[in-house]
Structure formats: structure tokens, C-alpha cells
Amino acid sequence: MSQQELRAIVAMLEQMPPLGTLPIEQQRQLTEQLLSKGSIAPGCSFEPAQVGGVPGLWAHPQRVKAGRVLLYLHGGGYAVGSANAYRSLASHLAAACEARVLTIDYRLAPEHPFPAAVDDAVVAYRGLLGSGIDPQCLAVAGDSAGGGLSMALLLAIRDAGLAQPVAAAVMSPWVDMTQSGASWANKRAVDPMLGRLGQGPSMADLYLNGVDARHPLASPVLADLRGLAPVLIQVGSSECLLDDSTQLVARLAAADVKVVLDVWPGMIHVFQGMVDQLEEALEAIAGLARFFEQQWGE
């Protein structure tokens, strides 16, 4: 790991105003500006999508194996982020996994509070199945809030009687909206992104709009997790959401779900998106691809 590059990223993030102190439109604009700077994997192209009526963006890599598809659910606290902003990460995932990647633009809070994002994810998943995609060729992934949304999607489709995808991979997942994990306090000083979220309105409050934070589709770590697809969890050791991941792996294991936890020492929130600065980002994406390859192979 290049400590110098990581320190530079942390310094840049610490110089930015905490997102929660800005009006929601400014939060979205700033997120778009930051994420849109990432490189695109060589040979990857993009195509606008409408799947089940949910808009999004297809990322097409140079090589696709056996009709494989990855449904990607972006992060952003359910309030910011977009398929366009996530073009860089989607392209690198597509190239590494040799799969088409669909990133959807699920509806955002506060205009569209819980459970709008979950509803849109389920509609998109149904749309993919309805288009003829075999669930054994379909995987799900997401980061941060999108990681929590990925877990909520697995729960919702299980309860609806739909087939599970072949596997899911979640990066720094936000799966506990009660924010009861000790890492919210003991990692605050080393997390340049989430460590300052106490300044401004809570993204959980914006999304939940009065719904109990313990609702299983808002805090999947508190749900009955039996019968879910295999899950890979990647998280950095220097982030407030560390305990979300460690608690999730324990709950999945107790529910007899195949699960792998991959903790990256010193890494910060959703470091996988920093492909142009951190070699660990590409290494983690490669590890995610190997996990999916194993599941697709089985």
C-alpha cells in the first residue's frame, strides 16, 4: 500500500465540507463531481437502460462470459449518487468479472423515502429475470447504502418467492440504521468520510422518514437471514461501518448462509472506488471477481 497516496486522499476528504452540512442538491452535485473523475476500464462502453421501468446504465466490457450479469446498487446514503457517477467503478467491475453490469438509478430520499429504493431494486431484479436472465448467471453487488440495499433485496426477493442470485458482494455495507456498532465511535477519528456525519441531518432520518430503524429492510443485519445467496463482505479497518460488516458476517453464519469477510487493514470507506490512487482498490475488485467466479463455476 502507498501510505503517501492514502494520506493524500484522506487530506483531500478532510478539507471538504461535511456532506450533511450542505443542501441536498449541493450534496448530489459534489458527489457527481468527485466520482465522475475516475478512470473507465479500457474497452468498456455504456448504454442507457430501462429495466422493469427503472432507469439505469449498462456497462459492457470487452469480454463477457456465458451471459453473466451483475446488478449494481450504488452507495450514497440513499440520498446521493447515480449510475452515471458510478461509471468508473462499474466499468472496472465489468472488466474484472467479465460480466455486463447494470447500475440502476433507484429513487432517492428525501423525495422518495423508504422503501422506495428497495421497491426499485426488486422491480429491476424482476425485470432482469423477466428478460430471460438465468438467476445462476446473475449476481448482485453494492457499496455503503447500496450494500445495505443489496442485502435488503435478497431478503425481499426471498420473501416474494423469487430465486436468489448466484451470489452477492457488499462493500462497506450500511446494514444497521440504528448505528449501534462501537465502530461508529471508535473509528470516527480515522474515517474521513463517515467520521463527520454527525454534522447535519442524519441520512438515516432522511431515508426512513419516521419508519423504525430496526425494520429488517432498513437494517438487514437485524433480519432473519436464512435462505440467502452466498455473500462476500469487503470492508476497511479504518471506517465507522466496520462493525456493520463484522455483525453481518456473524448473523449470516448463524443463519447457515455461506459468507466470506475480507477486512482490508488501513483502508477507508469504499476504497474500491479509488482505482486511480490505490492499488488495493483493484486488488479488492479482483478478489470480488474471484468470489463471483467461484459461485458462477459451481
**For the chain (length 298 residues), average pLDDT per consecutive 10?**
80 79 89 91 97 97 95 96 98 98 98 98 98 97 98 98 98 96 92 72 88 98 98 96 97 98 95 94 98 91
Q: Which of the following is catalytic: 88, 91, 144, 238?
A: 144
pLDDT at 15: 82
**Integer Cα distance of 3 and 9 in angstroms:** 10
CA angle 94, 287, 123 (to 5 degrees): 45
Q: What is the CATH number of domain 3-297?
A: 3.40.50.1820
Q: Using CB atoms within 10 A of its CB, is residue 145 exposed (0-12), middle (13-18) or buried (19+)?
A: buried
**Integer Cα distance of 174 and 220 in angstroms:** 9
- Residue 92 annotated in active site: no
pLDDT at 283: 97
- Residue 98 annotated in active site: no
- Residue 5 annotated in active site: no
pLDDT at 223: 98
pLDDT at 211: 97
Q: Which of the following is catalytic: 91, 219, 269, 280?
A: 269
